[in-house]
């Protein structure tokens, strides 16, 4: 309820200031009206050459009568000679002196005004107006208390209505894609009703002018805060987009940028991964939203690849046939799509052949299957007489001793390789069952209560 306490405090202060600016005091209203009338710029009157002394008496009597009716100007001494008005006597402040001079200038027949006021420093003359104004303001505030009560009650009722509507989370969850958006809309509704309540309360107090000042200040503050917290705002908006787009499911094996693991949950601030080493990894949602996401779980069929080399003197076509026969002989390799191979590169002493095969990740572990395929292919090539190449260096000795020249010919001779007997590749059994330890860790953690998750299995995966 701290928010409502702040609302009540703001309305109380607004109500206290409202009488000073909304015309609840007749005394201050009359004074403001006089000042507004005096502020009108009249054209300077022309000097009458036929004016006589009787006109000076009329001007003096007129000014004395006006000053007697204005608080703070009762003791002003007025002297008029040939249309020149001289004002003197004690006066409380410069504002009163300027006011008396402005009044005198507006009287018909006045040529110019000279002031010779003396500042009245008496305590009574200077303190008494302040006390009177304070007492008048207090009296106006006390008289406005019933109206303030109505304004507070109206604002409180509207705010409680908004709180009631925002608390209906079951409804917001049904009309929004996920709980994150439901909480966001509920919070927006609560704030909206609070603002409406404040506006209605100030409107009842006839102090709506304060709303413009408050909104203007809030706009400047919001702009400054937006620049200061732009990274936080970016992360917040990315969380909204990820919660709507749903790029992955819980326990999916993904690679986000350079990070790889299984998805534990998606929160309003970060995406939690369980790495393949069993460690927790938090990635800010702003990074996840901008990064490349590779989902290994989305398609259960996955291709493995590896490269093996044979000697440059071997037949690459026979090597490919032998390797594919070994790969296809494994039960974990799918028949459709079938395994393939191609010559990747021909070097000085070897031929590199790339082999590819497909597995079903629901039945086989990718790394185990790839390792088993490499093993059976290598063994099959060696058992059928293909030599896996070793580094070969040719040495040449020019203008050297005769014994070294003879050695050069011997070293350069490739000679005939030792032929190995050709045998059919043996079938081997491998354990390629899926590795599910990390998956079980994720399931165990997700089964715990109290952790929010924005991933929803009912929403489509983008």
Instruction: Please count the other Cβ atoms lying within 10 Å of the Cβ belonging to residue 105.
Output: 16
What per-residue string of b and e applies to 12-49 under the rule 16 or more CB within 10 Å gives b?
A: eebbbebbeebebbeebeeeeeeeeeeeeeeeeeeeee
Whether the predicted pLDDT of 413 surpasses 60: no
Task: Let me know: does 310 contact 351? Beta carbons within 8 Å.
Answer: yes
Whether the predicted pLDDT of 29 surpasses 90: no
What's the confidence (pLDDT) of residue 360? 94
How large is the average pLDDT for residues 87-111?
Answer: 86
How large is the average pLDDT for residues 45-59?
Answer: 66
What is the end-to-end Cα distance of the chain in Å, rounded?
Answer: 41
Smallest CA-to-CA distance from 383 within 332, 415, 427 is with 427
Q: How far apart are CA 60 and CA 66, in angstroms?
A: 10
How do residues 141-155 score in pLDDT, each as one tens digit?
788 788 888 888 988
Task: Let me know: does 442 contact 262? Beta carbons within 8 Å.
Answer: yes
Cβ burial of 293 (10 Å; 0-12, 13-18, 19+) is middle
Based on DSSP, count helices (H) and strands (E) in the chain, helices before strands: 15, 11
Task: Let me know: does 265 contact 446? Beta carbons within 8 Å.
Answer: yes
Smallest CA-to-CA distance from 424 within 295, 310, 317, 322 is with 322
Return all residues near 23 (Cβ < 8 A) that are at least 6 apart. 29
How do residues 215-258 score in pLDDT, each as one tens digit?
676 677 777 766 666 777 788 888 888 888 888 988 999 999 99
Distances (CA, A) of 244 to 241, 253, 270, 288: 5, 20, 15, 14
Which has the minimum average pLDDT: 25-34, 129-138, 339-348, 400-409?
25-34
Cβ burial of 418 (10 Å; 0-12, 13-18, 19+) is exposed
Token pair for 35: 């000042």
What's the confidence (pLDDT) of residue 26? 39
DSSP state of 182: H
Q: How far apart are CA 367 and CA 432, in angstroms?
A: 8
What's the confidence (pLDDT) of residue 50? 56
Find the farthest-apart pair of alpha carbons in the chain and give their distance in angstroms, rounded.
Answer: 149
**Ordered strands of the 259-266 beta sheet:** 280-284, 270-274, 259-266, 253-256, 293-295
Domains in the chain, CATH or no CATH each: 38-129 (3.30.1340.30), 239-297 (2.30.30.60), 301-412 (3.30.70.100)
Task: Let me know: does 273 contact 261? Beta carbons within 8 Å.
Answer: yes
**Is the preceding peptide bond at 337 cis, omega within 30 degrees of 0?**
yes
Q: How far apart are CA 164 and CA 194, in angstroms?
A: 12
What's the confidence (pLDDT) of residue 427? 54
Q: Which residue has the higher pLDDT, 35 or 387?
A: 387
Entry field: residues in the chain? 462
């Amino acid at each position: 309820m701290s928010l409502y306490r702040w609302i009540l405090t703001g309305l109380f202060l607004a109500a206290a200031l409202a009488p000073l600016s909304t015309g609840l005091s007749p005394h201050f209203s009359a004074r403001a009206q006089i000042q507004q009338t005096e502020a009108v710029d009249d054209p300077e009157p022309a000097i009458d050459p036929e004016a006589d002394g009787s006109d000076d008496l009329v001007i003096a009597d007129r000014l004395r009568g006006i000053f007697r009716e204005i608080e703070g100007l009762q003791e002003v001494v007025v002297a008029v000679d040939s249309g020149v008005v001289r004002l003197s006597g004690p006066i409380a402040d410069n504002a009163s002196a300027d006011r008396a001079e402005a009044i005198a200038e507006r009287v018909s027949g006045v040529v110019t005004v000279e002031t010779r006021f003396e500042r009245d420093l008496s305590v009574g003359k200077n303190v008494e107006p302040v006390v009177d104004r304070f007492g008048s303001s207090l009296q106006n505030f006390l008289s406005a208390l019933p109206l303030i009560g109505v304004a507070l009650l109206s604002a409180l009722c509207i705010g409680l209505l908004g709180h009631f509507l925002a608390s209906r989370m079951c409804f917001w969850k049904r009309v929004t894609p996920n709980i994150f958006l439901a909480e966001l809309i509920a919070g927006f509704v609560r704030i909206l009703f609070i603002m409406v309540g404040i506006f209605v309360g100030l409107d009842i107090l006839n102090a709506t002018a304060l709303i413009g000042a408050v909104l203007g200040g809030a706009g400047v503050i919001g702009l400054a805060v937006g620049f200061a917290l732009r990274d936080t705002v970016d992360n917040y908006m990315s969380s909204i987009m990820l919660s709507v787009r749903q790029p992955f499911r819980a326990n999916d094996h993904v690679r986000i940028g350079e990070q790889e693991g299984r998805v534990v949950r998606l929160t309003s601030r970060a995406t939690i991964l369980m790495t393949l080493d069993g460690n927790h990894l938090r990635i800010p949602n702003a990074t996840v939203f901008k990064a490349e996401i590779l989902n290994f779980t989305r398609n259960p069929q996955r291709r493995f690849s590896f490269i093996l080399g044979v000697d440059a003197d071997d037949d690459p076509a026979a090597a490919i046939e032998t390797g594919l026969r070994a790969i296809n002989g494994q039960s974990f390799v799918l028949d459709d799509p079938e395994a393939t191979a191609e010559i990747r590169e021909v070097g000085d002493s070897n031929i590199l052949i790339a082999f590819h095969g497909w597995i079903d990740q629901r039945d086989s572990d990718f790394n185990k299957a790839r390792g088993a395929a490499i093993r059976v292919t290598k063994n099959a090539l060696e058992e059928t007489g293909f030599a896996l190449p070793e580094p070969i260096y040719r040495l040449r000795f020019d203008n050297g001793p005769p014994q070294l020249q003879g050695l050069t010919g011997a070293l350069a001779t490739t000679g005939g390789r030792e032929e190995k007997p050709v045998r059919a590749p043996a079938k081997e059994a491998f354990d390629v069952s899926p590795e599910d330890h990390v998956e079980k860790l994720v399931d165990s953690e997700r089964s715990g209560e109290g952790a929010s998750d924005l991933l929803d299995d009912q929403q489509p995966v983008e």
